[in-house]
Structure 1
Amino acid sequence: MSGFGEATAVRRVGDGRYEADLDGAYGFAEALNGGYLMAVLGRAAVDASPHAHPISTAAGFHRVAKPGPALLVVEPRKEGRTTASALVSLVQHDRTVVDALIITGTLDAAAEPAYAGAAPAPVPPIEECTEFRPPTGAGFADQVDMRFDRTTMGWLDGQPSGSPEIRAWFRLRDGYAPDGHSLALAVDALPPVALNLGAQGWAPTVELTWHMRAVPAPGWLAVHGTGRLLSDGWFDEEVEVWDTAGRLVAQSRQIARVPRARS
């Protein structure tokens, strides 16, 4: 296992080509977390760009990524004064696993919003939240420190709330400070909100789009997950991430296959 910075590192090996060693510690039963993969893709995109931050990432997940070597191919689409865009593909065994259109830009850490909508209901204080670590040995839960709002974790006791909501505090256990790459992990770190609708099991993400809205302040991040519709084997999940300064720093929406329903 390695720290987040090392686990998401990329090495330039040619024009628009990078290599990475994908770390199995950021997955579940060797299926790597989508947010972790987006962090790796984002590092390649930023390295190939004149801009510092992954402003928008729209990722399509075609296959399960496995721990081990991977090739990243960056194909520039546009480069401008304020933004650059590129299609970034993650390839294993000569097969494309993930494609992402990534737009990079440079955010001002001191910027103040001209308008901000109402914040969601706050996550309870950390000492009132529950740390959930599945008893499955080393894996994703050993890399992230998450403290969950107990009122959104009824599915753990076989009593799903009936509302597709999960809230938690988030940080990396290795002390890695929040940035644009760890935000990619944060937006996909919650258990599927469909679990509170009675679903169970693995919920593979098919497409996930996330936006970096501000440079996050140091410390814990508050992660709020909600959903709008579960139908015909599909569900959506929307996530907002707020920092210790009370700013919205990331947003995401994904579409995923629903886990097998309880009998």
Structure 2
Amino acid sequence: MSRFGDATAVERIAEGRYEADLDAGFSFAEAVNGGYLMAVLARAAVDASPHEHPVATAATFLRVAKPGRAEVLVETRKSGRTAATARVGLVQNGVPLVEALITTGTLDAGSEPEWVGEPPVPALPPLDHCTSFGGGDDRTRGFADQVDMRFDPATMGWLDGRPGGRPEMRAWFRLADPHEPDAYVLALAVDALPPIVLNMGARGWAPTVEMTWHMRAVPAPGPLAVHGSGRLVDGGWFDEEVEVWDSAGRLVAQSRQLARVGRRS
């Protein structure tokens, strides 16, 4: 398996119980990335299901997950011919960290959409016109070293103290290792952007409280285009909506999360 495949692997130890080793490489200052955690939960949910893909995930993040051993608990609530639903929890040292409801189904990689809306506007510039993160310190390099992200410069002025004033971020996304996009990479991609409120002058950590994401299609090989935006920033809370488009121009994932705003500059 690839580095990402190994990092998100789960081992069944009993009916409905799995062990995972949360990889420090997918963390920021020892707080493990939420998208990575959803990929781990999705692997357990799919293993316990007759279906191949995590088509809908609603996750509530209760506490910060740290690198190291953890347990994933899967409780099947429904199992049908087209969909199965399970309650999936992540526990570390006896403490619940994430609670999720995951619905699995099997998507046809060769299907063609009956209708699809227009791609996001503005579109991402070509890869060679985008910029890598270029910053970070020992606390943040772990995650940045596992992914290859190229950002639209129009949404990255906050790095130089010139935030654009709108909650938005756009980037090309792929893993640093040779692992082509799949369902679990999509789980990571929907939570890979820096918090969109950084582009409004916020600083520091912006913890996710709840995230719902949908897998809409099996992604084609190649980089993913990730578009993040928000509708409301108010009272220390903000929402972030993300669309992920694959190299064939198909919408392959959507998400919405509710998060807390970091301190203002």
- Give the TM-score normalised by structure 2: 0.97
> Counterparts in 2 of 1:29-108, with a 5 A limit?
29-108=29-108
Counterpart residue number, 2:145:
142
Counterpart residue number, 1:212:
215
- SS at structure 2 position matched to 1:215: coil
Residue identity (%): 69
Counterpart residue number, 1:120:
120
1:184 aligned to 2:187? yes
Counterpart residue number, 2:247:
244
Q: CA deviation at 1:197?
A: 1.3
- Tell me if structure 2 keeps the 8 A contact 1:134–1:141: no
- SS at structure 1 position matched to 2:221: coil
- SS at structure 1 position matched to 2:248: coil
Q: C-alpha distance in 1, partners of 2:21/2:213?
A: 23
Q: CA deviation at 1:149?
A: 0.3
Q: CA deviation at 1:24?
A: 0.6
After superposing the two structures, state which structure 1 stretch, 112-121 or 63-72, moved more: 112-121
Q: CA deviation at 1:75?
A: 0.4
- SS at structure 2 position matched to 1:6: helix
How many residues get paired? Answer: 261
Q: What are the superposed Cα offsets for residues 53-77 of structure 1, whole Å, 9 maximum, x if unpaired?
A: 0000000000000000000000001
Q: Which amino acid aligns with 1:146?
A: M
- SS at structure 1 position matched to 2:124: coil
Q: CA deviation at 1:158?
A: 0.7
Q: CA deviation at 1:135?
A: 3.4
Counterpart residue number, 2:131:
130
Q: C-alpha distance in 2, partners of 1:39/1:153?
A: 27
Q: CA deviation at 1:18?
A: 0.2
- Tell me if structure 2 keeps the 8 A contact 1:133–1:141: no
Q: C-alpha distance in 1, partners of 2:215/2:20?
A: 23
Q: C-alpha distance in 2, partners of 1:33/1:166?
A: 18
Q: C-alpha distance in 1, partners of 2:190/2:229?
A: 12
Q: CA deviation at 1:230?
A: 0.4
> Counterparts in 2 of 1:162-173, with a 5 A limit?
162-173=165-176
| CA RMSD after TM alignment | 0.8
Q: Which amino acid aligns with 2:19?
A: E
Q: C-alpha distance in 2, partners of 1:8/1:161?
A: 35
Counterpart residue number, 2:262:
259
- Give the TM-score normalised by structure 1: 0.98
- Tell me if structure 2 keeps the 8 A contact 1:133–1:142: no
Counterpart residue number, 1:151:
154
Q: C-alpha distance in 2, partners of 1:232/1:69?
A: 36
Q: C-alpha distance in 2, partners of 1:179/1:47?
A: 15
Q: C-alpha distance in 2, partners of 1:200/1:230?
A: 14
Q: CA deviation at 1:175?
A: 1.1
Q: CA deviation at 1:134?
A: 2.9
**Structure 2 unaligned spans of 5+:** none
Q: C-alpha distance in 2, partners of 1:108/1:56?
A: 16
Q: C-alpha distance in 2, partners of 1:257/1:179?
A: 29
Q: Which amino acid aligns with 1:234?
A: W
- SS at structure 2 position matched to 1:156: helix
Q: C-alpha distance in 2, partners of 1:134/1:103?
A: 37
Q: CA deviation at 1:196?
A: 1.1
- SS at structure 1 position matched to 2:187: helix
Counterpart residue number, 1:227:
230
Q: Which amino acid aligns with 1:50?
A: P
**Structure 1 unaligned spans of 5+:** none
- SS at structure 2 position matched to 1:130: coil
